[in-house]
Amino acid sequence: MTQQACTDHTAACRKAYAGTPDARMKQINDALVRHLHAFVAEVEPTREEWMAGVQFLAAVGQSPNGALEEFILLSDVLGVSMLVETINDSPYDDTTQGTVLGPFFIDNMPLAEQGADIAAGRTEGATPLAIDIAIVDRQGQPIPLAQVDIWQSAADGLYDVQRGLPEGEFELRARFKADGEGRVRCRSVMPIPYQVPTNGPVGDLLRVSQRHPWRPAHVHFRIAADGHPPLTTHLFPTGDPYLGGDAVFGVKPALVIDMPEAGGGRTLSYTFVLE
């Protein structure tokens, strides 16, 4: 097919979607056709290569890790998830920066009590961690009753959802309501570096690209409060060997903090500033 024939074909496809009633959907459809066609025109895949790509996406949808988790992971390792976060980041320099949600968030968690031990017994081989966080607005005023989700992997590098726990049982995750001073306190364990799942097609992509699957140690936070956009972020302990090479590109320097030793364990103290 000549270059003109390719151009004409793309124009015909764009015209086919030009009648999309919703303006935003029309914009998305048009951009998708333009950029996808431009990708194909640049790469010039053989029929066999294009079918291999289609089969890869089909395999993602049939992953043993679950289709949703594998597609999120694919978005993560291609850097798209972090690009979306960057586009939607707060425009204010004095607010806490966001990062990727990851594939292991669970919504509609039951509320835990202040001071709860969220490790739920997953303490073997782990260092205790005391978490003490505050949620404030840009003027430094506390945000009472903010909803705070906290979750992380265990000392074996796995999240509770990867273990197939009975329904209603959770480990190293909880939902809290901030107190009247905008604070949440709980007990956990120090996070460690871990590998993203590599037993599915995304793992194959990493291997063929000679990329490692490691994420630096981190604790996830998702904070929601009336009158403020929700914040999804991590906190990373200093000194982790993978801070400069996160498999999902999720590290921001402002989110790397010291978690000092105290009382036979370590402490995570941080003030989140919401937009």
Residues with Cβ < 8 Å from 166, sequence gap 6 or more?
Answer: none
Which whole number is the average pLDDT over 74-99? 94
- The CATH H-level superfamily of 91-273 is Aromatic compound dioxygenase (2.60.130.10)
Percentage of the chain beyond pLDDT 70 is: 100
| Sequence-distant (≥ 6) Cβ neighbours of residue 147 within 8 angstroms | 175, 176, 177, 178, 223, 224, 225
Q: Of 65-69, 77-81, 166-170, which range is least confident?
A: 166-170
Q: What is the pLDDT of residue 56?
A: 97
In this prediction, residue 145 carries a pLDDT of 96
pLDDT at 116 over 80: yes
Question: What confidence score (pLDDT) does residue 124 get?
Answer: 81
pLDDT above 70 (res 27): yes
Q: Which residues contact 126 (CB under 8 A, 6 or more apart)?
A: 119, 154, 155, 189, 190, 192
In which band, very low, low, confident or very high, does the pLDDT at 122 lie, cut at 50, 70 and 90? confident
Q: Is the dihedral of CA 99, 103, 107, 109 positive or negative?
A: negative
Q: What is the pLDDT of residue 120?
A: 81
Q: What is the pLDDT of residue 125?
A: 83
End-to-end CA distance of the chain: 51
CA 176 – CA 118 distance, rounded (Å):
11
Distance CA 149, CA 222 (A): 5
Residue 121 has pLDDT above 80, yes or no: no
Q: How confident is the model at residue 41 (pLDDT cuts 50, 70, 90)?
A: very high
| Residues 148-200 pLDDT 10s | 999 999 988 899 988 888 888 899 999 999 999 999 999 999 999 999 999 99
DSSP state of 116: -
- State the pLDDT at residue 3: 86
Neighbours of 242 (CB within 10 A): 17
Write down the mean pLDDT value for the chain: 95
Q: What mean pLDDT is predicted for residues 64-75?
A: 93
Which residue ranges make up each domain of the chain?
3-77, 91-273
Q: How confident is the model at residue 1 (pLDDT cuts 50, 70, 90)?
A: low
Which residue from 96, 98, 94 is spatially nearest to 84, judged by alpha carbons? Answer: 98
Partner residues linked to 88 by β-bridges: none
**pLDDT value of position 274:** 97
- Tens digits of residue pLDDT in 237-274: 999 999 999 999 999 999 999 999 988 899 999 999 99
Condensed to tens digits (0 to 9), the pLDDT of residues 186-234 reads 999 999 999 999 999 999 999 999 999 999 999 999 999 999 999 999 9
Q: What is the pTM of this model?
A: 0.91
111-143 exposure pattern, b = at least 16 Cβ within 10 A, e = fewer: ebeeebebbbebbeebebbbbebbbbbeeeebb
Residue pair 173/106 in contact by the 8 Å Cβ criterion: yes
The pLDDT assigned to 168 comes to 84
Quote the pLDDT of residue 9. 94
